[in-house]
Structure formats: structure tokens, C-alpha cells
Structure 1
Amino acid sequence: MNRLRALQLIKGGALVRPCLAATQVFAARTLRFTAALQKERDAGFLKRLSRRMGWLDHSRSILRMSGYLLYENVADKVDYARFFKEFDMPDTFLSWFVITELHLWMLMVRMTAEGKEGEFVRNCMLNALWDDATVRAKKLEQGSPAGVREQLNVLSEEFHASLFGYDEGLLSGDRVLAGALWRRFFQLQCRHPLHLESLVQFVRQQVKLLDGVTREEILLRPDIRWIAFQKPSQM
């Protein structure tokens, strides 16, 4: 399958809701990681105190679980339907992906403050993303593994490019961030300037909120609160 066909499938395929297979995969991993977490809690007092003070790294099994739980905080808690409605987005695979991508990027920004542990959790979040995207893409492109691979290759290239744009926008002014969101999130097709303005404000406010989440909460007990973005009509 050529690149043009892959792009057509990504932009035209109907959105696949979280499927049973993906849910079972995450559930099985969560059970294994929960057992590891319980074992960690049974460790000696000195070890727990040391880790709480940041003297020792948390075990990889717990951090891996946190990465997948953080992804589930996006996949299960973000109100996709509202994004579709408020921003006049088509109900497609690509729309699902760019919404998920934006929320994961904001979590990745928060993880940069947590050093090596944050980097490991970030990578686990990305593994969860591509696991989920693969399941959804297979549902769209049934019987064509080559087509799925091509779609995911295209998405991967666009994903990494969007991260650079969002990072630049976050560190710069609202105009630069708006440009990044217009190019990626709205796919150069934002017909209402107020939509773009409200999304810029949403990103700024959500990043600020995540900055206030403690190290222990984000690494060991991830339970993200996503703010409700302000409707353009309310601005």
C-alpha cells in the first residue's frame, strides 16, 4: 500500500471506539503491575522512606504500570465526543488520534521534570498509544497488515513532528502555539478563530494544572483531572 492510500485511510476511516481486545490487554497488564505494586508496598520502612525522598529510583514494574495508567487516563477520561462537537471535527480515526496526541503531549511535558523515571514512564505511555492505535487501525484495515504498518508509519512521522511544534509553541507566545495547533490539531482547516483561541487557553491551563501535580501522584498514583475547555461562545 502506498503512502497516499495510507493517508486516505487515516483521514477517512471511521473512528473505532476502545475495543474489547485492547481493554483486555490493558486489564491483564494492570493486574500484573498491581501485584508488583503490592509487593513494593511490603518493602521495609527504610526503603519506602528512601524512595519517597527521592533517594532511590522506583522499580520499573511500577513505573511501567504508571505509564499505561496515564495513557488510560487519556483514552478513558477525555471527552472525545465533546471535542468533535465543539470544534466541528469529523468522527474519524485521525480526529481520535490528534486529540489523544495532544493530551499525551501535555503529560509528556510534565514528565520532563521527573528525570530518568519520567523518561521511562513517557516511553511506556507511548508504547500504550501505539498498542491502542494498532488495534484500531487493524479494525479499519481488515486483512491488510501492510496497510496497517503504512498507516502507523505515517502517523509516527506526523506525531514526532507535532511534538516539536507543540514544544516550540509552549515555550513561545500564544501565536506560535496557535500556529502549531492550527497545523496539526485542526489540519489547516479551522474555520472559526474562536475555536483556536479556546484551544490555546485550554492547553495553557491544563499544562499549568499538571505542573501542580506532585511527583508521587504522577509517578505512583496517576489520576489525572482534565479540565473542561471553555466553549468559544462563552469567551
Structure 2
Amino acid sequence: MVSPHKGVSSEAQHLDCALTGGLLGERDGPQTCLFIWRAPIHEATEQDLAKTLVSCHCRAGAVLPARIQCRALHSTQEKIKIAALRMYTCCVERINYDDFFERCSLPDTLNSWFLVAQLHVWMCLVRMRQEGREGKYMCRYIVHSMWEDVEQRSKIMGIDAFQRKESMRVMTETFYAAIFGFDEGILSDDCVLAAALWRNLFNKQCEDPQQLELMVEYVRKQMQFIDALDGDDLLLTGEIKWRPLLEENAQSILKVPKPTYNDAGL
């Protein structure tokens, strides 16, 4: 049996081993374990995340006007937290991961899933940082939702507490290193962005320049697309419909869909 880790960097192998305890190291292993990380966020998990995100309290003993102001502020914050959870969910459930694995020759592992997911989370962070204080507040809870989801998935896979703590440490280091590299790349030319993708998406294992070119083009067009989305709508709904990796109609990117939501912003 050929290991899916062939051609993957030692850091990636360590991350996969720490996260899976060997369960995801074999493609022909138990399907229940193999595809847990690729499953949509479970309804119960999403509800738990939402409860965690929207839990906030006013200080006891405040005078009535201050309490009313606090309640109004927290109501806005709660909506932003829910929108942040939805935006993270868009990074997980609205991406064709198989397409990325095939086009970029990435191994079908938990580490590859995380690297693709964090790329889209980063693009959301770049967009929402443009929305001032509320946008930065939303960024905080997008990242919070990501770590809550990763931890829940690792628990479902049966990873013990020690391995889970170590894997979260490695993932955190990987994530913030990638954020720094991607930020530098998006503000620079395509060569710098390609280098950031080579390090943080391909794990320094890409030998096909066309794959790098594809991903540079993907990031540029995706950022162009989400930059055109209305900031108030994003703060209210958190909805993002990603462009496909390969465009059937390149002109379609210019047509930004209008979001749909009810009077409560849901």
C-alpha cells in the first residue's frame, strides 16, 4: 500500500500523525474515520458553536440606561458572532476540496484539508479587516469558530487530550505563519504570492509551475470577487459564495450575486 504521505514534507507528516493518531495515514482505512474531517459541520456542533459565540453578559449592578446600552451593543455583537460562524462555515462547506487535491496534487489528508481551509479563512479575514472595528471583531470570531471546529472534529476522531493539545499547537503555528506569508503576498507581486502559496499550501512540494500559477490566479480573482461584496451585508449575513477553482465563464466573476436574508438578518 502506498502511503499518502509520500512526497509530503516532514512537518506535514508530523501534523497529520499528531492529528489523526494514524487513522488518516492510510487511504484504505476505516471510512468512518477517514472522512470525518471532510464532513460538513454537524448540526449539533454548529448549534454548540453558536451558543458559545453568542453567550455574553452585562455587568450586574449597572444602572438602567447603561444596561439598555449594553444590551443594544451586545445584540449587535451577537449578530456579528453568528455571521462570523456562517462565514467560517462557507470556508468549510462551500469549497470543492477534491478539486484542490486533484489540481494541486495534494495528498488526501487532514493536513491538506486544513491548509485549503485556512487559505479561505485568510481571504475572509483580509476582506473583513476593511470593515473597521466591527470587521475586526468579526475576524476574531471567524478564527474562534475555526479552532472550535477543528477541536470538535479531533474529539470525534477519538484523539486523546495530549495529542489534541499538541496538534492544536502545531496548527496554530502553521496558521499564523501562513497568515503572515499570505498578507505579504497579496500586497506584493505574483512571485511573492506564489512563494507564500508554495510554502503554506503546497508544503514546499510543488514542482509544477502551472499549479502555482493556477493558485495565484485563484487567490487574485477570489479577492477581487469578495472585495466587491457589500461590507454591511457581510457583517449581517456572513454569506460568501466562492468562485470555482476553474472558471467556465471568466466574465461571470464580474456579476456579484445579491445576498438574501430576512428582517432579522438571518
CA contact 1:168–1:177 (8 Å) conserved in 2: yes
Matched with 2:194 is 178
Distance in 2 separating the partners of 1:146 and 1:223? 35
Matched with 1:125 is 142
CA contact 2:41–2:89 (8 Å) conserved in 1: no
Aligned residues: 209
Matched with 2:236 is 220
Name the aligned partner's letter for residue 191 of structure 2. R
Matched with 2:257 is none
Name the aligned partner's letter for residue 26 of structure 1. E
Report the CA distance between 1:191 and its aligned residue.
2.5
Distance in 1 separating the partners of 2:199 and 2:176? 14
Structure 2 counterparts to residues 86-165 of structure 1, below 5 A? 86-140=103-157, 142=158, 144-165=160-181
Matched with 2:94 is 77
Residues 29, 144 of structure 1: CA spacing in aligned structure 2 closer, same or farther, 3 A cutoff?
A: closer
Report the CA distance between 1:143 and its aligned residue.
5.1
Residues 218, 145 of structure 1: CA spacing in aligned structure 2 closer, same or farther, 3 A cutoff?
A: same
Report the CA distance between 1:5 and its aligned residue.
8.7
Match of 2:15 among 7, 11, 24: 7
Distance in 1 separating the partners of 2:109 and 2:218? 22
SS in 2 for 1:17: helix
CA contact 1:66–1:219 (8 Å) conserved in 2: yes
SS in 2 for 1:133: helix
Distance in 1 separating the partners of 2:230 and 2:211? 31
SS in 2 for 1:63: helix
Q: In the TM superposition, what whole-angstrom CA distance separates every residue of 1:14-67 from its partner, at most 9, and x where no partner exists?
A: 453356884312135558999xxxxxxxxxxxxxxxxxxxxx997101000010
| C-alpha RMSD over aligned residues | 3.0
Distance in 2 separating the partners of 1:8 and 1:32? 28
Unmatched 5+ stretches in structure 2 = 1-10, 25-33, 55-72, 248-266
Q: TM-score when scaled to structure 2?
A: 0.70
Distance in 1 separating the partners of 2:89 and 2:47? 10
Please identify which structure carries the higher helix content: 1
Match of 1:197 among 206, 213, 227: 213
Matched with 2:182 is 166
Report the CA distance between 1:138 and its aligned residue.
2.7
Distance in 1 separating the partners of 2:40 and 2:119? 24
Match of 2:45 among 15, 21, 25: 25
Which structure has the larger Rg? 2
Q: In the TM superposition, what whole-angstrom CA distance separates every residue of 1:94-136 from its partner, at most 9, and x where no partner exists?
A: 0010010000000000011111111111111111100111122
Q: Which runs of 4+ in 1 moved over 4 A?
A: 3-6, 18-22, 28-34
Unmatched 5+ stretches in structure 1 = 35-55
CA contact 2:38–2:113 (8 Å) conserved in 1: no
Please, which moves more after superposition, 156-165 or 8-17? 8-17
Distance in 1 separating the partners of 2:144 and 2:164? 16
